[in-house]
Structure 1
């Protein structure tokens, strides 16, 4: 059974998500603030995190930043009633898989869970490894197809852009190669 951490300072949101997720067959752990969430994340194997962005003391963005800095890559769904472009960009760069606007419906939660399941089935790491093998074997067009798939799944995957840059470098297209290398840098990918 997959474990889901629900982090929100509003009890009603925690209760709503707990009920919805339990019905879908998930084991739920809740946290009322960012510090509590960090402790749970560091001591428990969590499969999915629903994280409120606006909380007292430690914001959801800071929690996300801290867990990414210690190498935890659990899928994170950011929840907010106060959506801003800056927050959306910051959270996307930190690897949030969904930016969920409050209020939301149980149908929206089910849709997000399906999206997360599809991500598992289309594991980026596996796609990247396969693309690297194809590049090594000179099968560049097949590698491009796989890398495009990885980018469609996770648009902030810097390594995919870097590998696309390498492919176009091999093909002698320095303009396209440079564009992909530039995008890889935007997502802080350094080989």
Structure 2
């Protein structure tokens, strides 16, 4: 199961050209324990997304310069897998369909209440949790069948999805061990335990390693 902490420490990028909306989202989300970065343009958002990892993106459609839809298209073209919630006063069926077609996972119309914003954010993060858990199961299943290369592709996606989880480090250590790369496998086991010293699978694997060496 994915870590519950992801809901508490999730990093949110809010993109809106209205200062009062940015301030509202920052206050509401920070009061709930989220880490928030708020910017006013698609260009700023794209630059940040190229440098940093975010768990979720909230995005207005009408922005100065690059529009919200164009930013979604660019993220898809560049393979950036960050779940996006479009938050806009343009809430026509056509606008919603276009946003979803270009990669948005949800839509919230303006004006919105703090409760509505939190419900959308938590809903998307819960969806990401289920995705992560499914990826973990598939990666383990592939390893059991000896398909380590295929498993590695999934584990790499897990790293970007939840950087704060020890699970990808643990799984990657198993993949590396299967290839005889014991030193790097050990580093990933230790990385998993740095993130959570009580993560049982990594502790047991490290114990086996120490007994053999």
In 1, are the aligned partners of 2:73 and 2:103 still within 8 Å (CA)? no
How does the TM-score come out when normalised to structure 1? 0.64
Question: Displacement, 1:120?
Answer: 2.0
How does the TM-score come out when normalised to structure 2? 0.58
Q: Which has the larger radius of gyration?
A: 2
Unmatched runs of 5 consecutive residues or more in structure 1: 134-191
**Which residue matches 2:19?**
11
**Which residue matches 1:51?**
59
Question: Displacement, 1:85?
Answer: 2.2
In 1, are the aligned partners of 2:13 and 2:58 still within 8 Å (CA)? yes
| Matching of residue 41 in structure 1 with residue 20 in structure 2 | no
**Which residue matches 1:79?**
87
How far apart in 2 are the matches of 1:38 and 1:74?
12
Question: Displacement, 1:125?
Answer: 8.5
**Secondary structure of the corresponding residue to residue 119 of structure 1:** helix
**Which residue matches 1:117?**
125
How far apart in 1 are the matches of 2:85 and 2:130?
18
Instruction: Note the alpha carbon deviations across 1:83-135, whole angstroms, 9 max, x for none.
Output: 222221121112211111000001101211221222022107836x85xx7xx
How far apart in 1 are the matches of 2:45 and 2:118?
23
**Secondary structure of the corresponding residue to residue 122 of structure 1:** helix
**Secondary structure of the corresponding residue to residue 97 of structure 1:** strand
How far apart in 1 are the matches of 2:94 and 2:33?
34
How far apart in 2 are the matches of 1:81 and 1:121?
29
Question: Displacement, 1:70?
Answer: 0.4
Q: How many aligned residue pairs are there?
A: 133
